[in-house]
Chain A
Amino acid sequence: MNRTIGLIEARDLSKRFGGVQALDAVSLAVEPGQIIAVIGENGAGKSTLVKILCGVYHPDCGEVRIAGKSIRLQGPADALAHGIARIPQELELCDTMTVAQNLLLGREPIDRYGIIDESSSRQQARSALENVSLDVPLDVPVSQLGHGQRQLVAIARALDGNATVLLLDEPTATLSPTETKVLLERIVKLKEAGTAIVLITHRLAEVEQVASRVEVLRDGIHVATLEKDEISRKNMVHQMVGRDLEPPTAENLTLGSTRLTIDAMTSEVHPDPIHLEVKAGERIALAGLVGAGRSELLEAIFGLRHRNGTVRIDGDRLVPLHPAAAVEAGLALIPEERATQGLALQRTVAQNAMLPGLHREAGWLGWLPSGAGEKTAHDVVNRLDVRPARTDLPVGDLSGGNQQKVVIGKWLALKPAVLLLDEPTRGVDVGAREEIHQKLRTLSQQGVSILFASSEMEEVLSLSHKIVVMHEGKITGILTTSESTEEQILALATGGELR
């Protein structure tokens, strides 16, 4: 490999977050004039790798070498000074400021009194836009641009700051097909002009289209490098999945009547009407990639986001569109982010566990009798086997797995008819995961309907009876779990046809 200016090399990068080894001795070399796609399932370590390359995280071990020299990057600003720019999914633009002001932010041309030179500013801004072939007025606030245009403004700013390496983190995740096409064309042009590009994406079709090389990560480990002539959807999927799964154990399945009915539901993220039924005792998985609209589907059912169409519980239409009505009708939603959506971390286990049902124990003017909710709290701790078995600890002091048990337990205390779970075991260790899975199986045998979104194939395949695969807000397939393979699911999840 010839070394030229702009080359960065990551050697044996490792990074641990709590109990999770996010990245384990991963190496990566980036050369000018190449598009290197980094792919992998959710949680494979792609974003961690990119964040180390731009100085957001420091690696636990390993080093980043720039032009042959080992460098400890102090943060994104420092990385940019070394020619490395990350374009995160959540663009770092100042929305209230104009295109020109954003393009030159932090390096405005000034005279010796610190006064901004307007004419050379505009000239520089214009040539920055030309670099990415973007034609927008310089004086409009960036908030008025479309997302694809904003992305290009961010890229133009990075290039104008002499970035030679662009780290693009899922740049097309929120773009329309047309915008995606434009963006990919510009990226290829930049590559041909000599920019080194690291592309993180879930969309394998894009990878096939533009990548010079593919690096595959799985569970924080680098598992394969696919050279240009080896890049194919089949190869990539095979490498991303990689592991053999134990066949799901057969279960005596006796389904009851339909409990949850979703009829012709559409929303901002779900363009096509969604129809779905969950029977009593049934466990259905929502599979798909980030941005497939799974969490949003659960939120829409629960009344947390605006939707059209109807949701019925045991045949009764769920109105109004509000979580309180959903809870009253027997729904419960275990959210994706337990730290921000599920728990009040500083409060005790008891205070968290009793929260959903507390209003039922409250008296006149909301007065709470002493000891209100105590029994509920103890039940939650006992039934879910929360460890340590105490209700008086701040819930933030528990391990991730036990926190998740509290989140699930506090909703089970209401005895829901339909349980919606978003990533039921994210960031939970193997032992606790098995306990939670077992609890969910027991619940469904008692007649509870379960609809869960999960990014972990193993969980999808081992816990569900049916799998609903989503891609860009649409259902691309409904599979019976016992007859489906990981490859099939991934193909549907990436928008491909079922083969």
Chain B
Amino acid sequence: MKKVLGIFSVLVTVALVTAIISPAFLSSYNIENLLRRSALFGIIGIGASLVIITGGIDLSIGSVICLIGCLTPWLITVIGISPWIVVPSLLVLATGLGLTHGFLVTRLKLQPFLVTLCGLFVYRGITRGILADSTVGFGTSGSELRSLGTGRIPITDSFGLPAPLLILAVVALVTSFGLRRTIWGRHLLAIGSNETAARHCGIDVNRVKIGAYALCGLLAGLGGLLFVLDTGSAQPSNFGNFYELYAIAAAVLGGCSLRGGEGTVIGVLIGATLVQVLRNAIVLIDEIPDSIEFAVIGGIILLAVIADEAVRRAVARRSNED
């Protein structure tokens, strides 16, 4: 909890500083947009955190987003299949990709980094192949569906809650409850903490891990769907580029240790929001050139990881002294 408090205070500080320098930050248009982006990245961040809790990693998230994000408008507008069929089948496809990762990692004992790195290349390559690198969009069709991404629930004249935020709320509540109160979540944390101990306690380690990869795939697919509904069109060569890194950053900033065994949903949400506030701040503050966005985000994550290590050492020292 203290860990989340630390990152939360960083979030508040960055937001305050940005608001002071650039009043546009607090405009209802900007806040609504920020919430929308944070919600989208929160969804894929939660997926990434589930895998990271097992001590694994999923680098394929951005490419899964590209695959689902490009296939959705293509199947609906170009091929002409009903959204009622397209959306569920693509979510099943995304889950299946995650299942495959989990299977390769557990049964074939391949390294998660390697498996999902291959996924990163393969899914983007396939998408670009199917669409021959051309941009696809919804045009005028699918407007009801698009409201899932662009829709809002008006609160005041100028401000409304973006639809993705509501979807995130459902995902976050379910996952958080699952992690804290169900046997699956408990076992997921145990596996990340000490896989041998978990196995010797009779836990079906492989099944739990495969589940984590499958959920990560599903959430990446859901993310891809919502991203494309939000933007309206997708270009296979750059749609979702680097999004896996934003998702991992959100998870790590939110207190997930890459060694596994630790992580909370609330932390990931704060982490995802922080990344988006930083990106927003870079755009709004004129003194920071937009081109150094990656450098700023990278620097902040590095500081967070250093702090994580420092806390660990302090804890280790304290338990040695007992």
Within 134-157 of B, Cβ neighbours of A (below 8 Å) are at none
What per-residue 1/0 map shows which CB atoms of A69-100 lie under 8 Å from chain B?
A: 00000011100110000000000111111000
Q: B79 contacts the other chain (Cβ, under 8 Å)?
A: no
Give 14 A-B pairs besides A106-B201, A107-B202 with Cβ atoms closer than 8 angstroms.
A94-B261, A95-B194, A97-B193, A101-B186, A101-B190, A105-B186, A105-B187, A108-B183, A108-B186, A118-B181, A143-B315, A143-B316, A145-B319, A145-B322
| Alpha-carbon distance between A105 and B183 when the two chains are bound, in angstroms | 9
| Across-interface contacts of B193 in A (CB, < 8 A) | 94-97
| Across-interface contacts of A76 in B (CB, < 8 A) | 199-200
Of the listed stretches A109-117, A273-281, A373-381, A416-424, chain B binds: A109-117
Min CB distance B322 to A, Å, is 5
Q: Is the CB of A93 within 8 A of B197?
A: yes
Min CB distance A428 to B, Å, is 30
Min CB distance B50 to A, Å, is 16
| Alpha-carbon distance between A101 and B193 when the two chains are bound, in angstroms | 12
Q: Is the CB of A94 within 8 A of B189?
A: yes
Min CB distance A411 to B, Å, is 33
Q: Is the CB of B262 within 8 A of A75?
A: no
| Alpha-carbon distance between A108 and B197 when the two chains are bound, in angstroms | 15
Q: A144 contacts the other chain (Cβ, under 8 Å)?
A: yes
Q: A146 contacts the other chain (Cβ, under 8 Å)?
A: yes
Q: Is the CB of A110 within 8 A of B194?
A: no
Min CB distance B121 to A, Å, is 27
Min CB distance B315 to A, Å, is 7
Give the nearest-CB partner of A78 in chain B: B202
Given contacts A94-B189, A97-B190, whether A106 and B181 have CB atoms under 8 Å apart is no
Min CB distance B166 to A, Å, is 24
Complex partner residue of B186 from A80, A92, A116, CB under 8 angstroms: A116
| Alpha-carbon distance between A101 and B186 when the two chains are bound, in angstroms | 8
What per-residue 1/0 map shows which CB atoms of B193-216 lie under 8 Å from chain A?
A: 110111111110000000000000
What per-residue 1/0 map shows which CB atoms of B151-182 lie under 8 Å from chain A?
A: 00000000000000000000000000000011
What band does the interface of chain A fall in when counting residues whose beta carbon is under 8 Å from B? 20 to 34
| Alpha-carbon distance between A3 and B144 when the two chains are bound, in angstroms | 74
Q: Is the CB of A77 within 8 A of B194?
A: no
| Across-interface contacts of A114 in B (CB, < 8 A) | 182-184
Q: B318 contacts the other chain (Cβ, under 8 Å)?
A: yes
Residue among A92, A93, A118, A145 having the largest count of chain B Cβ atoms under 10 Å: A92
8 pairs of A and B residues whose beta carbons are closest in the complex: A106-B201, A94-B193, A92-B197, A77-B202, A76-B200, A96-B261, A106-B202, A146-B322
| Alpha-carbon distance between A135 and B130 when the two chains are bound, in angstroms | 64
Q: Is the CB of B197 within 8 A of A105?
A: yes
| Alpha-carbon distance between A469 and B318 when the two chains are bound, in angstroms | 32
| Across-interface contacts of A146 in B (CB, < 8 A) | 319, 322
| Alpha-carbon distance between A262 and B261 when the two chains are bound, in angstroms | 43
Min CB distance A84 to B, Å, is 12
Give the nearest-CB partner of A106 in chain B: B201
Interface size on B, residues (CB 8 A): 26
| Alpha-carbon distance between A144 and B201 when the two chains are bound, in angstroms | 21
| Alpha-carbon distance between A411 and B182 when the two chains are bound, in angstroms | 56
| Across-interface contacts of A106 in B (CB, < 8 A) | 187, 198, 201-203
B residues whose Cβ falls under 8 Å from a Cβ of A? 181-184, 186-187, 189-190, 192-194, 196-203, 261-262, 315-316, 318-319, 322
Q: Is the CB of A77 within 8 A of B200?
A: yes
A residues whose Cβ falls under 8 Å from a Cβ of B? 75-77, 80-81, 92-97, 101, 105-108, 110, 114-116, 118, 143-146, 157, 161
Can you report 26 A-B residue pairs in the complex whose CB atoms are below 8 A from each other? A75-B200, A76-B199, A77-B201, A80-B202, A92-B194, A92-B200, A93-B194, A96-B261, A97-B189, A97-B193, A101-B190, A105-B197, A105-B198, A105-B203, A106-B187, A106-B198, A106-B201, A107-B201, A107-B202, A108-B186, A115-B183, A116-B181, A118-B181, A143-B316, A146-B319, A157-B201
| Across-interface contacts of B198 in A (CB, < 8 A) | 94, 105-106
Min CB distance B243 to A, Å, is 28
Complex partner residue of B196 from A92, A144, A145, A157, CB under 8 angstroms: A92
Given contacts A92-B196, A143-B315, whether A105 and B201 have CB atoms under 8 Å apart is yes
| Across-interface contacts of A80 in B (CB, < 8 A) | 200-202
| Alpha-carbon distance between A161 and B202 when the two chains are bound, in angstroms | 11
Q: Is the CB of B183 within 8 A of A116?
A: yes
| Alpha-carbon distance between A93 and B187 when the two chains are bound, in angstroms | 13
Residue among A95, A96, A157, A161 having the largest count of chain B Cβ atoms under 10 Å: A96
Q: Is the CB of A94 within 8 A of B322?
A: no
| Alpha-carbon distance between A77 and B190 when the two chains are bound, in angstroms | 15
Give the nearest-CB partner of B191 in chain A: A94
| Alpha-carbon distance between A325 and B80 when the two chains are bound, in angstroms | 73
Min CB distance A88 to B, Å, is 9
| Across-interface contacts of B199 in A (CB, < 8 A) | 75-77
Min CB distance B207 to A, Å, is 13
Given contacts A143-B319, A145-B322, A146-B322, whether A96 and B202 have CB atoms under 8 Å apart is no
Q: Is the CB of A144 within 8 A of B318?
A: yes
Give the nearest-CB partner of A147 in chain B: B322
Give the nearest-CB partner of B203 in chain A: A106
Q: Is the CB of A116 within 8 A of B202?
A: no
| Across-interface contacts of A75 in B (CB, < 8 A) | 199-200
| Alpha-carbon distance between A75 and B201 when the two chains are bound, in angstroms | 10
Give the nearest-CB partner of A55 in chain B: B200
| Alpha-carbon distance between A196 and B200 when the two chains are bound, in angstroms | 20
| Alpha-carbon distance between A94 and B319 when the two chains are bound, in angstroms | 15
Q: Is the CB of B318 within 8 A of A115?
A: no
| Across-interface contacts of B194 in A (CB, < 8 A) | 92-95
Give the nearest-CB partner of A110 in chain B: B183
| Across-interface contacts of A110 in B (CB, < 8 A) | 182-183
| Across-interface contacts of B319 in A (CB, < 8 A) | 143-146
| Across-interface contacts of B318 in A (CB, < 8 A) | 144
